[in-house]
Structures are given as C-alpha cells and as structure tokens.
Structure 1
Amino acid sequence: MMLPLTNRLRRLIGMRPRAVRVFRALDDVSFDIAAGETVGIIGRNGGGKSTLLQILVGTLQASDGSVAVNGRVSALLELGAGFNPEFSGRENVFLAGAIMGLGTAEMADLMPLIERFADIGEFVDQPVKTYSSGMYVRLAFSVAIHVSPDILVVDEALAVGDTAFQTKCLTRIRRMQSEGVSIILVTHSTNTLLEYCDRGIYLRRGKVVLDGACRDVVKRYADDLVDEEGGTVIYDDEAVLSEPQSGDSQLPLAQVAEPEAPASEICDVSILDSAGNARTTFGYGDEVLIRVQIRVHRRIEAPCYGVQFKSVDDIALWAGTTQNMNLAPAPTDPGIYEFNWRLDMNVTGNRYVIALGVGDMDSGEYRRHSRVPYAGHIDVLPQPHSGHGWIAPNPRFMDPQRQS
C-alpha cells in the first residue's frame, strides 16, 4: 500500500510516519428543511457546521448517506470558496452564473443589480486577490441573492462585513423569507438565530445535539458552553416556560426558585390574530392577541399584570402594566384564569420578543409573583419605503419651498 505523501516525506528525512487516523466530521446527521423555512445551525468551531454546508451544496462528497435537494441552491461559504483569485470580480460573477446554469445574457442583465448591492466601485474590474475580506463578501453575497435561488445557504462569512453591510444583508434575508426562499444560516450568534430563524440545529463534534425551537437550542448551547468551560449552570429566579412532561395532563407550570409556589404564576401563552387564530407573523398595524393563562394559588386582592416588548438582544422597547395604565383588575381566588393583551403593531419590520409578568400591588408597591422573559416572539413584516428602526412614525416629506 502506498503511504500518503506527507508520510513518504517524513520517511525521506528520517522521521517516523504518522499513523493514519480516520476522523468523522459528521456522524449520523439527518434532518429535513421545508420550503420557505429558515433554519439556523449553531455550534462551536470544529463542530461540523461548515462541512455540513459544503456537503449540502455539493462542494464536498459525503462518505456515506445522501442529500436530496429540490430547487436551485445559492451559497455563500467561507472566504476563498467559489471565486478564482486571478479573475476580476466581474469575471467571477459571470463564472458563478455559468456554474449555476445561467446564461451570459441573463447574467449581463443581473450585473448592474449585483454591482449596486455589492457597492465596491471600480474594484469590480480588479482581480479578486486584491480584495479585502469585506469587499470579497460584499460581492459574493450580492451574487448569491441575485440569482433567484430557491435555497440560500450562508456560512459565517457575513461576520467579516461591516455592521452597515451586515444589516443590509439581513434585511435582504428578511425579504427573501417573505418570498418563500428556504434559508440555511450558520452562525455563532444566538441573537441572529432567535431573530431570523424558524428553527435551530445545534451541532457538537459532528452530531446533532438538538433540532427544535430556537429558544431551546440557544439555551442548550449556552448551557453546554458553560459546562465545557468548567463552570456550573445557575438559573436565576426569572420564571421560564417549561416543556410539559410526557404523560403529564396538566399545563406546563413556570419554574420558580422559591420552595413555595408564588401566589400566582404564568402557565401558558398563545399568540393569536384578531380572529383568534395562532399566528406569529403580522403586518404593520395588525392587532395581536396575547392570551395568557395563569394559576392562582392564594387569593390576590390587587393583581397586577404586565407585558413588555424587547429586541432579540434584550433591549426593552416598550412595557406596560395594568397599574401604570390606571386599570384595576378584579381580585382572584385560587384557580386557573385566562386573560388577553390586545396590541396594535404600529412598529417597523423586525422581530419582537414578548416578556410577561404577574404580581400584585401591596401598599402601593409592585410585588412580583412570576415573570417569563421569553414568552414567544412576533415578526412584523417591513413596510416598503418607510425607513428603518424600531418605531413607525409614518414619516411624510414636504417639498422645499423657495423663501427668497
């Protein structure tokens, strides 16, 4: 049997050849992605994320197993993949189109759009080897989104771009989501996973640790990071909605640190539209119904209920309570109760995280019983030509009038 080249070189200079070890980059990884679904893949370096993407797009061949793809795939993988460094940016754009089966005439029509989005100026006609990493990713991402993909695959490459360009790219990803494009997004950012993905997959050492709701994947990933660094996962007294146990017929109760159950606690939350249908995506101005179920353990004379909207990176955007709205909910005896918050989504296109709280007023002071910092999220579709940010002031511009 012929030794690998590196081992033959070691033998030539008198060194002992290394034993060949088989390394499994991915082990029994299996999942499906539905049309129009956005799936985020998270995990530490070396977990197999980039290898998985390369297998999905066909630049690597798996030693066993299979991949079934239905539709045109466009990919932005790690820097250096896909472009010929000796070619100019323009030549690489036409090369990428040819690889994807697009004709020269079709790419010529797309070229102005690609140039405008990439915004690298005259460098588009310079060899790619002269590009900075930011310029490279600008052009590569612009190509990936303009070839009308059915499936967009994005590796961590966006992390090298400047903040403004990252925002521009993520805004375009939002638009592609609304157009029904399936998106696979590899990221180290838990905020990106929560904000942009419908589902998360946590990869560790080539295996799928968890495939499910983004908040569950983020929590498991964060716990493992602490554990692997030799720390201990400590939970604070913030109540978190727990998953119901198999065979448990009662509603999932909130977890609390106190040995004695609080006077009241949040059991379940549903996000509905004005007609009472379960829904999480809304348009500007739509009414959202947040239905909250609580369990009351002891009589409460002056209950107080609160709701808060936050960004995915935990910035408080708005909060209201029945107390500061000058409302006086009726006293509650022990039992299960249900109440609703109705809110109009007069906000810009973004993902909004909902936090909820219940408590009571004791001598004019608020006393917390239970709080859920993540009770779900709402996606508000962006309005075209309305600006960017969190608020929606309905801007209007009046043409300048000559004064003299």
Structure 2
Amino acid sequence: MTLAGEHSLLQQTWLRIAELADRPPIVVASEEHRFIVSEHLRQVNVTPSALLLEPCGRNTAPAVAVAALRAFEMGLDPLLLVLPSDHVIASTDQLIAAVKLAADAAEEGELVTFGVKPTHPETGYGYIKRRLGDGIQPVERFVEKPSFSVAQDYVNSGGYVWNSGMFLFKASAYLAELRKYRPDILVFCYEALKQSSVDLDFIRLNRELFEKIPAISVDYAVMEKTAKAVVLDIDAGWSDIGSWDSLWETSHPDANGNVNIGEVISKDCTNMLTLSESRLVATLGLDDLIVVDTVDALLVAHRNRAQDIKQIVADLKKCGHAEATNHRKVYRPWGTYELITKGPKFIVKKIVVKPGASLSMQMHQHRSEHWVVVVGTAQITKDDAVQVLNANESLYIPVGVRHRLANIGDCPLEVIEVQSGEYLEEDDIIRFDDDYGRVGDEV
C-alpha cells in the first residue's frame, strides 16, 4: 500500500528530481530494509550509484557523511542534494526551481538548507530564523520544535520558516565543516566505509565502527555551528510525513474532515484518518481519531497525540514484543514471504518468488515443509531429484532433506508453505548454496 500517490515515498523522492541528476543516486538505508529499498528502486528503473547499508540508525549527520565519502571514492566531488524519503511535495516544479537557484551558492561552498514557508503554527517541526528578504539568506539560528504559542509567534513574525531537513552542498564543503566541528564522526564514518564489505549490490558499513558513531543530525553537528549556513525559502506544498496527523493534512480531507485510505466505511465521523491495509474497517460516530489497521497491528489514537506514538513503540521494544521489530511481510532478494497464521507447532506462509529467482539450497533440522503451488511454475530440488510443479500441485519436504525452490516461469511464483515441527524460528536453516552469497542463517 502506498500512502500518497501511486508510488512509494522513496520512489517519489527520486522521480521528482531525476531530471536534475547527471548520475543515479547514492542511497543510504537501514540494513533491515535493504531488499525492499532495492525492489522499490528497481520498480522505477533506477540502479543506485551506491546503496550504503547502516547496521544501526545514527541520524542524518553520519548518513550524509558516508554518502559524501563514497562520492569521493568514486572520484567525484559533486553537489549533494540531500533528500529524506518521507516527504510529500505537491509542486515538483517549485522544488526543482529552488535547487537550480541554490546551485551557485552551493558550488561556492555555502551549505544550503531549504526552508518552508509555514502555513500554520506547527509544533512537530523545527524552525529556522533567517533575515527577511527574497532569495538566499544567512541562517540566524535553528529552533527546536516549539510550543503552540511560540510557533504562533514565529508564524506571525514572518521571520521564521519550517526546517525541511533538505540540503544542497558540495561533498567536500560538508566534510570540511564536519571535520571542523565533529571530527570524531568523520573519522568513524571514514573507517566504517573503508572497512565495509560488498554484498550483492549493497555496501555494508562496518558494524563495529559504525556503532561507535554518536547519533546526531546534520543540523546539530554542522548547520547550527557553521558560518556557511544559508537558507532558501520554498513554497512547494511540502510536508514531512513524520506522523499520522501530517499524513491527514496532506491527503485532502473530505467535507467532514475525514481521510480514508484503503477499504474503509465511515459514517457520522469527523476529522478522522482511517487507513486499512488488508481488510474492511468501519468507523461510526467518531471524531479526531487516527485508526491504522495493518497486517502487523492496529493503532487507535487521538489526533492530538500523533507525535507520541513513538512512546508506544519504545514500550513494545522494552517488553520484547515481536511487532516492534518484525513484519508479517518480509522482503528477500528472491521475493517475499508473508505470515498467514501460526500455532504452537505450525506456521503457514505465502511465498512469492520473482521470475528467474530461487531460494537457497537448504535444510532444516527441526521442521518439515509442505509446499502448494497456487500461481506459476516451480522447479523444486529435493536432495538429488528435480521436479516441476504447476498450480494446484504440492510437495512434502521432510526434516533433514536438502531442498530448493525456484521460479522457472515468466510471472511471479506463489506458493503456500506449511511448516510443522517443535521449533519454527527462521534460524533453523543450513545453507549449502545460495545465489546471493548468504551463508548459515543470514537473512
């Protein structure tokens, strides 16, 4: 499911500025999201110049640093347009015009940030105070997320803009300022990239070194300290989809103030955001609520608490709930698998294998598997025997038998897998051969 338009937010981020780029993007992503990021980019026909994998989150300053350092490794010192992938921008033309206008200042060594003219006293965004006037202006100071009354004063003054988190600067200019103000971050980023490993199309940053980097934003690490920070106002219909309430604001509520995404029936409701990923959701006589129903979990919250949902996630992690870190649908280099149901000694999954792709040759010590092909043509290797199955045909894989599933058709292969056994965790896997270079129980 996409949240805003037919493409994912990541895809939209690239597509809106693709015409400006003279080479594919450098993408920095979480190691856990590598396959979904790669697949989303493939769907819009882009192969990144580099896809750098962070073993843990360390905020934007290190992420931008490793991207800039990677550009140097490629023999480049380009202008880096830094774009988070969770933004909605209504006017691509306005954004492109702003980037072109800012390019000369960035080429001369300025660190350009893009400020958004506020439309209301938003308490969920940071603000930038800059000199009044048109065009590029010096940054006077950055302000953290304010209270409502302070935000109202900022809007009324006309001297403040929202901090978009988008930047334009030369790679060398950013690294020079980072070296001046946070040399510790630069050293660890350099070593983490230098000691990285290549895995398929991914560059895995060294975990031990990257974990030592302080988690800090570009603003804190550089922009609030440097004398080279400038800001350019843009009026491009920008929103940071950092909360469900901001999604409501950007999704054009109906006459009753409701935004319904997915299969939703709403009666006598006002000012609601209701999102359903996979089933019918009905709301009746409600006001000012956020209802989000996904295959992983159900969220019901008051809209004025939208910024506090991270507290729920923190509590889930503290209590060890699997929903805090695991999804029912999991991406792999060969396709996806999705949990349908599970019990004490069984799990049912839906496996989708891309055309021409195959799972590893593997064996399980604690579980047996029963595969039922529902769509497509499967080639199954079972010890030394090879068999082809079509729709409505099935095969049983006993415990301890080497096996492999491959898609030899032209369309995605869909298989229902029933696992049975005393132990059903994903680490019960011994790999003998893998097209993607994985070993052991590596995902």
More strand by share: 2
TM over 0.5: no
- If the TM-score is normalised by the length of the shorter chain, which range does it land in? under 0.3
Larger radius of gyration: 1
Higher relative contact order (CA 8 A, sep 6+): 1
Provide the TM-score with structure 1 as the length reference.
0.21
